[in-house]
Structure 1
């Protein structure tokens, strides 16, 4: 005989019940027991209704009416009208009994466990009866059997313990005498030896099916649900989770115990000894093979088979010097919890015997703390033991696998992965079987933790980066274009999966947790909400994704000042905005410190030289033990373009205007032409070389007239350039007469820094610098005479975007 169990989603409505009928019909002539749950959502509705009644809230009748309407509507849709009356009469009779029980709870203002079991059992009893009658109306050789007449338990209401001897005897007798091919049974429900209603616990329909399968020595148990088996992680939280084709009984028990809701944890117990395989199948995709649970097949050599979690956990800790070396402390502690019916999910104890820590359900922690404090009141009064410490809003995350015990380094890999993503671990436990490694973390970190661990152990080393981009002008739009163009290459060749989750400009912002389509981001951004920098940060923080990266493509001071908030929340920062790294030295150092403290990379390669690897080269020199003695550089692509283009046949105004239009200058061109931009760049290089400098320490020999420097708008600035054209022509002529070229040079030497326009003679490294190119000469202890030279395009949206992109890839390779 085959046993099939269909969960609440499988029988949620008449359409789904029809799918169940088709699956059962395909069994042919094979005998089967079909165990069904209550219609989807009905059990919760019954619990809520009974709770309202016990609070003497008259609105419980509205919930009762909803329950009645759903079942009567199902009968009318499933059962042919000519045979409806008998079924409707039975359903109404049962609903009248339910109404009487709820009215009793309302009148006495109390809901006992015994009464609760009676009320909640109606969900399965009604659904099984209706489904049984539907099967018969469809021509199946089916009958309904009340599971309370088969499964006998003790009187532990809410989660009764099964009397397997009596239950097996009842099942054997019934199925031996039952002539029908298909027997429909309500899951979850049972009865005590005295005949009272009991239940097997939430999810107990799985357990019912396993009990029947074990009693009948079935060849197979099928659990039909709404997913394609047991997954490597919860697919609702981890989009990349995959169904596992085959796992062992022990692995399934561990995963189900730690939150894999596909299977009720006690289900495996009745069938384990008889080695009856379990198939987890999808009602809505019956051809999918699903997951087979059976004895260990060595997991095809795989170590970690799944990542699971159980939420709503609190830690209860007992600690104090009076615990050290004192026999019986642990016994009293655990005995106290047992006597108060507190289930322990996790245990950890310090080797010093100074503390014991257990994980319990949130709903039990207050009772547990009070009981423990009462038990150890004497020791607490004498200050030998501290009052029980409670930590709430926690979750347990667990790695599970039979073969984990034979592989070294798994714990380290697990904790390293969590640490890199700033997931703080509050407690750790590992069973002696080494089949499970558990860590207690904050509830708010569970999604990040599961995705990080899944990426580490299951995703073929593909690392997902979640990008939040602020600023989509010339540079930002090119950056998004490059990501879109290279995404497939990155995934295939570099094992990086880049997703843009949020985009903002100065007017609007948009977020998509599944990733913004880079084919249509402009349209999506145009329809987004009003831009707000604080709301943008709050959203990035609340999403709490692993490998989050904030990308700043602006030149905005307020955005730069927000970097500490991102770094403190383990959100990496990549920026072409030079303000942060050229602001007060203490602010710069704090950013570097926060980056290390919270393991969040802070990269700003494009601050100097756009896409050129100038800062990266400098970092490698310093890291290898070299020391910078002098830096000479042409660091402004815009100024180099201007002075390479300017001559006696074109006006200085027109050349600067051209540079602005081609994206070589900042939005405010005075930042470039005043030398401020170059000052910031050489300051950053000096700081990265290990020197403590501020921008006020830099000497600026400006070539601009004072009036041009003091303008307060681009229009006024460009007008001033026209006014002083003769002065600019004079500068050009002086250089040309000496066969020199004008270059705006930055120099750092012996702690002193200056920037200014210089006449560069032929033969100098700067003389033939073309277009908007940059060049940096590093004179170091290892390169004292012939400097290390970095040269290339140092301005423009494309190269700047590529530099930002390169920083993103660096983070991916961390």
Structure 2
């Protein structure tokens, strides 16, 4: 004997029912088959809506009933051969007439009791099962329709009746053993009490009906046919990479189904688990798929966590007070008050000090729960022994489930670390003594991100997905996006990183796509994008709440830099090519570093100094390993080094600067380079990273530019460079006459910093510095006589982009 149950989607229409008939026919060849069916998809909700409208005096309930009737009649006509339609159409019509009469009475009385509501809801399964039975008979199978109300005995708790298994099992056995049909077609979800009144087994009760029949006849197998290929490692609507679970134990399945795995109704497992009956979850629309087999003991596996599940619309009830400490009975009274209101407790956690206890309940039950608990503890609240119940809403539960967790230390740490790194705040934690479940209460808006983060941490061995938001699509930004496109396959194969560019913005427009932009066509998409409004873009980034999010700033904009704090507070890492933030007021710099630590985000800005050179990283490594930086000497402007390496008086100073700008070595405004301001920022950042509290005003700048060069706009700047050509020629000739070269040098020593133009001779480390190269000399406690030298190209779009790229990889791999 075997039991098959088909859910609402499997019998939603004639086409789907015919797929179910094929499955039933195949099963019937193996032996006698009991088939349990749900109502047509959506019909139960429609019946509830119609009855509630009737109770509210809304005459439109008749339209709803008419639509329900017509849907069933149309389905019969499409499903059952014409020669067999008459009887089933008549049966459906009788059911609908009876339903109309009940709802008319509800309308007249203006009252809808739980008993009447159960009676109304029963019509969905009664009509669907009779239609399916007619179709099975038309397929030349011996089929008997059974009314489950004559077989499943319950108490009179309407809406969620409890089964009397002694009576039920005997009634089912007696009927099945006295008949020799191939197929028994039974409506799910409904039953009857001892007085014959219709009851229901709770939403999802068709699964339960199937398990009741399977247990009663000691079936060889129970098959639940639905619209997914088994239980999944996570909800596939939330996690696109969720995988089917081929085998799972009863206990694990119960945990997953309790915590929101909607493919299975939680009480279903109990009747079959007691008898060790295998339970298959199968897909009506892909019957060849393996599905999920649930047994007493699942085969050994190497997966620590079996699945991740969640429940939404949760409220947390917090009872606190010093009067609770050491006083027995508080918990009993709390749960008694909730039980009196028939409020189900989903999760419990209590502090070891006994000062507080928290329970999670459905949000719909929360107002009643607060009223009941406050009334129960009215005396203690009035005497300040206990605070009024504190209610938190807008929450959800996310749970890890797996029997192997008990044998693997560190699962909780891994779970909390993954959530914390992505800014998911945990409001409460519960772990059963069996260690099969670790549950966390979090904000509802974090559920999608949390489940994806955990799925990645425990299942996603293929790759880690990183979501990038890039602001700045000019020279460096374009190079970066090109490098990303080139390296995507390599990163996926070698580093198991999937970098997705979710947004790209420039000063005029931005484009955003949750599935990731095509890196071959992003320019065209950006041209068609939204007008650039920075606050709106930041709000969009925050609202998406994506995991492993990295904001990449490739601008020189102070406005963009002002957004870093808001992003870091949402645990969105920031990679900054922009030097504005780290060279702003020290309080702002320190605050950004602190926010990154507090919210488990990365704030990386290697390209602030030396483009792609590992200068800041090297400095941080020295400090982390216990060294102390005593002195820094550096050439930190690729632009100025390029200019003074190429200026020899044969071409004008202005033309050499123009060439440097044309080749992409300067800042957008070259005055930042030539005035020494950019170098001041860089030595300031290095000093701060070395642990010194310093402001820009503390740095001495021995500028070589005449003051008039800094007046007006960039065009005026170039005009003044030409006017002062003699000044620049004199600087060059004086150095050349002494056999020296001009270098713009930054110095840090004894908590002081300075920048300025120097003449350096052949004996100096800077003398041979070519082209646009930068060089930094670190003199430390370990590098006293011979400094640690970092040297290389310090300007250019390609190398700067590669430095930003490297920071992105660092942020992604943490």
Measured against the shorter chain, the TM-score band is: over 0.9
Moved over 4 A (4+): none
Matches within 5 A, 1:102-501: 102-297=103-298, 299-460=300-461, 462-501=463-502
**What is the CA–CA distance in structure 2 between the aligned matches of 1:358 and 1:287, rounded to whole Å?**
43
> C-alpha deviations, 1:156-200, integer Å up to 9, x for none?
111111111222222223323344322222211111121111111
- Residues 1:655 and 2:659 are matched in the alignment: no
C-alpha deviation, 1:657, in angstroms: 2.2
SS of 1:408's equivalent? coil
2:784 match:
784
SS of 2:348's equivalent? strand
> C-alpha deviations, 1:64-84, integer Å up to 9, x for none?
343233323322322334443
Query: Which 10-residue stretch deviates more, 593-602 or 657-666?
Result: 657-666
Contact 1:396/1:439, CA 8 A, preserved across alignment? yes
From the superposition, tell whether residues 531 and 58 of structure 1 become closer, same or farther in structure 2 (CA, over 3 Å).
farther
Contact 1:299/1:402, CA 8 A, preserved across alignment? no
Contact 1:121/1:189, CA 8 A, preserved across alignment? yes
SS of 2:511's equivalent? strand
2:583 match:
582
Contact 2:84/2:134, CA 8 A, preserved across alignment? no
**What is the CA–CA distance in structure 2 between the aligned matches of 1:241 and 1:769, rounded to whole Å?**
55
From the superposition, tell whether residues 128 and 720 of structure 1 become closer, same or farther in structure 2 (CA, over 3 Å).
farther
C-alpha deviation, 1:735, in angstroms: 2.6
**What is the CA–CA distance in structure 1 between the aligned matches of 2:672 and 2:62, rounded to whole Å?**
72
From the superposition, tell whether residues 236 and 776 of structure 1 become closer, same or farther in structure 2 (CA, over 3 Å).
same
Contact 1:246/1:299, CA 8 A, preserved across alignment? no
Matches within 5 A, 1:35-50: 35-50=36-51
SS of 1:399's equivalent? strand
1:25 match:
25
2:597 match:
596
**What is the CA–CA distance in structure 1 between the aligned matches of 2:658 and 2:51, rounded to whole Å?**
76
1:5 match:
5
Contact 1:298/1:402, CA 8 A, preserved across alignment? no
1:674 match:
675
- Residues 1:740 and 2:740 are matched in the alignment: yes
SS of 1:303's equivalent? coil
C-alpha deviation, 1:417, in angstroms: 2.3
- Residues 1:504 and 2:512 are matched in the alignment: no
**What is the CA–CA distance in structure 2 between the aligned matches of 1:647 and 1:16, rounded to whole Å?**
84
SS of 1:555's equivalent? coil
2:529 match:
528
From the superposition, tell whether residues 723 and 65 of structure 1 become closer, same or farther in structure 2 (CA, over 3 Å).
farther
**What is the CA–CA distance in structure 1 between the aligned matches of 2:588 and 2:297, rounded to whole Å?**
57
Q: Which 5+ residue runs of structure 1 have no aligned equivalent?
A: none
**What is the CA–CA distance in structure 2 between the aligned matches of 1:781 and 1:408, rounded to whole Å?**
41
SS of 2:209's equivalent? helix
**What is the CA–CA distance in structure 2 between the aligned matches of 1:650 and 1:139, rounded to whole Å?**
99
Matches within 5 A, 1:578-657: 578-657=579-658
Contact 1:247/1:299, CA 8 A, preserved across alignment? no
Q: Which 5+ residue runs of structure 2 have no aligned equivalent?
A: none
- Residues 1:59 and 2:68 are matched in the alignment: no
**What is the CA–CA distance in structure 2 between the aligned matches of 1:801 and 1:58, rounded to whole Å?**
67
C-alpha deviation, 1:568, in angstroms: 0.8
Contact 1:54/1:108, CA 8 A, preserved across alignment? yes
From the superposition, tell whether residues 444 and 776 of structure 1 become closer, same or farther in structure 2 (CA, over 3 Å).
same
1:90 match:
91
C-alpha deviation, 1:298, in angstroms: 5.6
Contact 1:612/1:792, CA 8 A, preserved across alignment? yes
Contact 1:133/1:143, CA 8 A, preserved across alignment? no
**What is the CA–CA distance in structure 2 between the aligned matches of 1:64 and 1:481, rounded to whole Å?**
60
C-alpha deviation, 1:639, in angstroms: 1.8
Contact 1:634/1:774, CA 8 A, preserved across alignment? yes
- Residues 1:727 and 2:709 are matched in the alignment: no
2:802 match:
802
- Residues 1:545 and 2:549 are matched in the alignment: no
- Residues 1:757 and 2:757 are matched in the alignment: yes
From the superposition, tell whether residues 723 and 53 of structure 1 become closer, same or farther in structure 2 (CA, over 3 Å).
farther
C-alpha deviation, 1:678, in angstroms: 1.1
Query: Which 10-residue stretch deviates more, 735-744 or 767-776?
Result: 735-744
From the superposition, tell whether residues 104 and 527 of structure 1 become closer, same or farther in structure 2 (CA, over 3 Å).
farther
**What is the CA–CA distance in structure 2 between the aligned matches of 1:527 and 1:104, rounded to whole Å?**
59
From the superposition, tell whether residues 69 and 60 of structure 1 become closer, same or farther in structure 2 (CA, over 3 Å).
same
Contact 1:50/1:105, CA 8 A, preserved across alignment? yes
Query: Which 10-residue stretch deviates more, 445-454 or 641-650?
Result: 641-650
**What is the CA–CA distance in structure 1 between the aligned matches of 2:650 and 2:15, rounded to whole Å?**
82
**What is the CA–CA distance in structure 1 between the aligned matches of 2:513 and 2:73, rounded to whole Å?**
41
SS of 1:483's equivalent? helix
RMSD after superposition: 1.9
**What is the CA–CA distance in structure 2 between the aligned matches of 1:752 and 1:652, rounded to whole Å?**
31
From the superposition, tell whether residues 718 and 143 of structure 1 become closer, same or farther in structure 2 (CA, over 3 Å).
farther
**What is the CA–CA distance in structure 2 between the aligned matches of 1:245 and 1:170, rounded to whole Å?**
35
**What is the CA–CA distance in structure 1 between the aligned matches of 2:723 and 2:12, rounded to whole Å?**
80
**What is the CA–CA distance in structure 2 between the aligned matches of 1:511 and 1:74, rounded to whole Å?**
44
Contact 1:298/1:403, CA 8 A, preserved across alignment? no
1:514 match:
515
Contact 2:28/2:183, CA 8 A, preserved across alignment? no
SS of 1:292's equivalent? strand
Contact 1:394/1:440, CA 8 A, preserved across alignment? yes
> C-alpha deviations, 1:710-732, integer Å up to 9, x for none?
122x3333333333333333333
SS of 1:386's equivalent? coil
SS of 1:625's equivalent? coil
**What is the CA–CA distance in structure 2 between the aligned matches of 1:286 and 1:651, rounded to whole Å?**
80
Aligned length: 813
C-alpha deviation, 1:28, in angstroms: 5.2
Query: Which 10-residue stretch deviates more, 361-370 or 420-429?
Result: 420-429
**What is the CA–CA distance in structure 2 between the aligned matches of 1:129 and 1:716, rounded to whole Å?**
89
Contact 2:556/2:578, CA 8 A, preserved across alignment? yes
C-alpha deviation, 1:379, in angstroms: 1.9
SS of 1:153's equivalent? coil
From the superposition, tell whether residues 469 and 45 of structure 1 become closer, same or farther in structure 2 (CA, over 3 Å).
farther
C-alpha deviation, 1:803, in angstroms: 0.9
Query: Which 10-residue stretch deviates more, 176-185 or 290-299?
Result: 176-185
Contact 1:232/1:306, CA 8 A, preserved across alignment? yes
From the superposition, tell whether residues 683 and 258 of structure 1 become closer, same or farther in structure 2 (CA, over 3 Å).
same
SS of 1:27's equivalent? helix
SS of 2:409's equivalent? coil
Contact 2:247/2:299, CA 8 A, preserved across alignment? no
C-alpha deviation, 1:338, in angstroms: 1.4
Query: Which 10-residue stretch deviates more, 254-263 or 15-24?
Result: 15-24
SS of 1:762's equivalent? coil
1:99 match:
100
C-alpha deviation, 1:516, in angstroms: 2.2
Contact 1:160/1:200, CA 8 A, preserved across alignment? yes
> C-alpha deviations, 1:51-104, integer Å up to 9, x for none?
333332333344334323332332232233444344333323322322332333
C-alpha deviation, 1:616, in angstroms: 0.5
Contact 1:188/1:201, CA 8 A, preserved across alignment? yes
Contact 2:28/2:182, CA 8 A, preserved across alignment? no
SS of 1:40's equivalent? coil
